[in-house]
Chain A
């Protein structure tokens, strides 16, 4: 099903349309209510919808379950609902002797209903199955046969899309592009939805991949790898991150860089394992005993997933802190599209921060040397002898309970991020027609970015501020939020965790639009809420 959605959205990209593919599936390997929604538009920024124009269901049960979503469609009226068996698609699969081509026959069928030329779909299928000649031929045949079954009513017409190259990626795929760009050396991932795709993709690369016995081993090994000089990361969801919290503190205390991808899903506990959430912000900010510096980034689209996926490694090494990349199931596993040129213009320069440059003086190298900016050059085993310590320690790394030393070391660590504000942003502003400070200002973070931007097409007077760095909370945002009127925070959790954070940081109260049922904000419900503001 995921493959069919990928083929369909990429074929639509070939016509110049932007696409969104949003999958929903239960926590089981085969079967169940497993569906994808594909939305396409000639304009960028696409939100998922509650209502659809076209339904192709496999099986009567699924047809009944989703029929209501199609009802009331202005574009297709009562003619946009189909059940695969009833329109003859099952027969195609039987005829071709392979049940797996049923989805492809379905794609051919939909393609005909949409009124597009079969040639484009065939081109896409040829690309998707490029390395498997027999399977390619079979799928193209299935698509052609499905296409023939497709009805020509409703008759649909489309505005042309853009005449530029479009890239189509899931959030996880874009993140992996960033991880590769950053020249990551070591990855420790215990499988968990929604980050499994990161493990699968990185397993095909030369990066040293550790599938640990548990998430505790994963992050401890990543810390060992970074201590030994590698660029190291882990990826997990809330449950795995809960197991990692003690080691997170060790990375903070021992000043070892660590990149942690935290793909949020619906909690608490096992929750709804294959559904989305933005409820781990508070957890990410406060995880671990004691106080230590950390950076929390939350990409909102493909460009940010790529850029922050790479920059996380730079930040972790420059400041010698854990960096948490907060994604969620919606961003991680949905397919988005953007112009290739937007992607290509993102420049990443690898910066490993301050490094040991040979022993000098009598004192020799001190791993935790006190410096003006609190950051001590890193050495690696094999270069010189030194101590790394999860106990409180002195400049040389020896364990220490000394009160005066403790105060100096806490000040060193907690002051390390003060230079982060210089040059490295944390949010993006979309000014409404009336200008900043006039009318309503929407506030969002992470994966709601495109959804809110889509909804804003109907509310051009609204302002919008999107946060991609949550911690340390961007100082410049404080001024900007203070100037804004009528803050409305939109987030996918029960209590309004960003709204609380803003109140704590600025004293500003805001309205909250919250959703916590595992699904992303749908365009209709978001615009309905916005009308009420």
Chain B
């Protein structure tokens, strides 16, 4: 299948320099290289900047509600297990509003792939701190600096029972493509956290200088609490 078949007539509306462009490219490559027909791929989208991708990505897309892309995906997969089902959302939707669904889908090891576009902030609503905003960061809702430690999706999913856990950066298109391919091929719950600081609200945040793992860790305790590890961290 050709990547071009995954384009729609609509041009992306993201800010120039946004990591979502790299993410979209990686998604198209991953679906094309996995030889999946667009009609057999369902992406349930959250509400947020990256979720606007529903209009730019030609698969069976469903724009759901803020925080609820995971349960919609669970219902789709239970009803038609032959579909490839991906739930997308920012860290606002998946780690903040809908974190309950993330934990429970991981606990049940639901056979879906969850992709989190982590830009460390509520972007569309003008830059308020989310549950995954780094401690100390000044945002429009934390003018004195965010007083809380960031909630880490990778850690949450690992301890909840998810069986595939990965972290990548949107700028690393080839690596992200490979990781998404592995995640959708994984049987059971898979999480891919994609880091791309917002070019408007969190441009001062640097993606940690990290180590890309060659092979997944055998025990999740080895990567818990380590923000600087990338690649497939856990693959049971």
CA distance A210 to B75 in the complex (A): 8
Chain A interface size band reads 35 or more
Whether a CB of chain B sits under 8 angstroms from the CB of A42 is no
Whether a CB of chain B sits under 8 angstroms from the CB of A381 is yes
- B65, B75, B101, B103: the one within 8 Å of A390 (CB): B65
Which residues of A, 301-356, contact B by the 8 Å Cβ criterion?
Answer: none
Whether a CB of chain B sits under 8 angstroms from the CB of A135 is no
B123 to chain A, nearest CB (A): 17
B95 to chain A, nearest CB (A): 15
Beta-carbon contacts of A210-225 to B below 8 Å, as 1s and 0s?
1011101110111111
Q: Please, which residues of chain B bring their CB within 8 A of the CB of A217? A: 68, 70-71, 74, 100-101, 104
A517 to chain B, nearest CB (A): 35
CA distance A230 to B78 in the complex (A): 10
Beta-carbon contacts of A381-403 to B below 8 Å, as 1s and 0s?
11111111111000001110000
A41 to chain B, nearest CB (A): 45
Q: Please, which residues of chain A bring their CB within 8 A of the CB of B103? A: 213
Q: Please, which residues of chain B bring their CB within 8 A of the CB of A386? A: 60
B194 to chain A, nearest CB (A): 22
Closest to A399 in B: B55
* Complex contact B39–A228 (CB within 8 A): no
Closest to B64 in A: A390
* Complex contact A210–B65 (CB within 8 A): no
Which residues of B, 83-133, contact A by the 8 Å Cβ criterion?
Answer: 83, 100-101, 103-104
Whether a CB of chain B sits under 8 angstroms from the CB of A246 is yes
For B, the interface residue count at a CB cutoff of 8 angstroms equals 38
Across chains A and B, the number of contacting residue pairs, with CB separation under 8 Å, is 131
Q: Which of B42, B60, B61, B82 has the most CB of A within 10 A?
A: B60
Q: Please, which residues of chain A bring their CB within 8 A of the CB of B58? A: 385
Whether a CB of chain A sits under 8 angstroms from the CB of B38 is yes
Whether a CB of chain A sits under 8 angstroms from the CB of B224 is no
A462 to chain B, nearest CB (A): 47
* Complex contact A214–B100 (CB within 8 A): yes
Which residues of B, 149-185, contact A by the 8 Å Cβ criterion?
Answer: none
Q: Please, which residues of chain B bring their CB within 8 A of the CB of A254? A: 62-63
Q: Please, which residues of chain B bring their CB within 8 A of the CB of A198? A: none
* Complex contact A221–B72 (CB within 8 A): yes
- A216, A227, A383: the one within 8 Å of B71 (CB): A216
> Given A213-B101, A214-B100, A399-B52: A228 and B76 within 8 A (CB)?
yes
* Complex contact A381–B64 (CB within 8 A): no
Whether a CB of chain A sits under 8 angstroms from the CB of B44 is yes
B233 to chain A, nearest CB (A): 24
Q: Please, which residues of chain A bring their CB within 8 A of the CB of B101? A: 213, 216-217
Residues of chain A touching chain B, judged by Cβ–Cβ distance below 8 Å, are 185-186, 188, 208, 210, 212-214, 216-218, 220-230, 232, 246-247, 250, 254, 380-391, 397-399
Given A186-B79, A230-B75, 13 more pairs with CB closer than 8 A: A185-B79, A188-B75, A221-B71, A224-B75, A228-B75, A247-B65, A381-B83, A382-B39, A382-B83, A385-B38, A388-B63, A389-B61, A389-B63
Return 14 A-B CB contacts under 8 Å, by A number. Answer: A210-B78, A212-B104, A213-B103, A216-B68, A222-B75, A224-B62, A224-B75, A226-B75, A247-B68, A381-B60, A381-B83, A387-B55, A387-B63, A391-B63
Closest CB pairs A-B (n = 3): A224-B75, A221-B75, A220-B71
